[in-house]
Chains A and B, each alone.
Chain A
Amino acid sequence: MKKIKGLWIWVFFICLATPAGLMAGGDAWGEWGRDFFQKVLGFVPEGIAKYSGAWHAPFRDYNIPGFGEVTGYILSAIAGIGLIMGAVWLLARGLSGKNGPQD
């Protein structure tokens, strides 16, 4: 387990560096919001208008309400990791029956 802890320390340091990813302005190709289509095409395709708000993610664009962009981004990275650990644990528990994974 000690070796895996060493890997977690690396991942934690990578989290602290994530704000570097904020320096790239603009969206990825094909990941624009409604405004983009309004501006570029002069209209928003019906399905995009209808479904783009199908789900309201609490921390949209890795923003945590109450925190600045950079701090929110780092906190999002850490929160995301916590959520992933929880999800993997639940999944492992579900797959292995009631007692959860051994070890």
Chain B
Amino acid sequence: MHIPDGYLSPQTCVIMYTACIPFWVMSGRRLRRKLNSRLVPLLSIFSAFSFVVMMFNIPVPGGTTTHAIGSVLMAILLGPWAAVTGISVALLIQALFFGDGGILSFGANAFNMAVVMPFAGYYVYRFLNLTRPKTPVRQALNAAVAGYVGINAAAFVTAIELGVQPLFFKALDGTPLYCPYGLAQTIPAMLFAHLTVGGIAEAVVTGGVLLFLRRSMPEIIVDLKIEAVA
């Protein structure tokens, strides 16, 4: 889901950076209020966890690959506003040092994976948690569903950004200048990869880690509730 440089027109890149700015500013403001607490190490660890989880590429039928992201887990544990910054940092390090995702397209990647995904997942989780009973297993299942929905929301938005390129940006002879595939190709391709393999991976990571923390490090969960930047 890491859009490389050259797939999006410079205009699209500017729009996507602009779309991120209010979220980055708001996230920074909300984090600032909690900085005297233990939020900084927690932000580091879940940002690091997300970075590492993204290295586990999983094959998708048809010859491509996908991976879990960890945005929804971070949104559930630390709050969606903390996830905006935490995941943006992981994506920035990936782009700057490892060439995973472009620099021009960093705004788009951050919008998809550090804004759309944590918020979509977080609100799905909150909604599902309105029901009873609130057992640890039930909450982990809710988190798994939230992870599944979150990554697919991000994949869908990514598909739109890529798919509109040939509509708006082509040479005089009609040759596409950037991503050459239209919405009719990008949406099915991105959703196929994430409704199947990617979504399941995200569900397992989100629900699994939540259950693991609750079972073996319940004191962490208590701490995390205190730190959450909702």
Contact = CB atoms under 8 A, between A and B. Distances in A.
Closest 9 CB pairs of A and B: A57-B99, A48-B6, A51-B6, A60-B99, A52-B6, A21-B56, A24-B57, A47-B178, A24-B59
B217 A81 contact: no
Contacts of B51: 77, 80-81, 84
Contact of A76 (B9, B98, B158): B98
B217 A21 contact: no
Interface string A23-39: 11111111101000100
A11 B48 contact: yes
Interface residues of A, number: 64
Given A79-B97, A80-B51, A29 B189 contact: yes
A30 B162 contact: yes
Contacts of B104: 51, 54-55
Contacts of B214: none
Interface residues of B, number: 74
Contacts of B56: 17-18, 20-21
A103 B226 CA distance: 15
B63 A80 contact: no
Contact of A4 (B45, B100, B190): B45
Interface of A: 1, 3-4, 6-8, 11, 14-15, 17-18, 20-31, 33, 37, 41, 43, 45-62, 73, 76-77, 79-81, 83-85, 87-89, 91-92, 95-96, 101-103
Interface in B169-196: 169, 171, 175-181, 186, 189-190, 193
Residue of A1, A45, A60 with most chain B CB atoms under a 10 A cut-off: A45
A90 to B, nearest CB: 10
B65 interface: yes
A13 B53 CA distance: 12
Contacts, number: 207
Contacts of A73: 55
Interface string B21-65: 000000010011001111011111101110111011111100111
B208 interface: no
Nearest to A51: B6
A55 B5 contact: yes
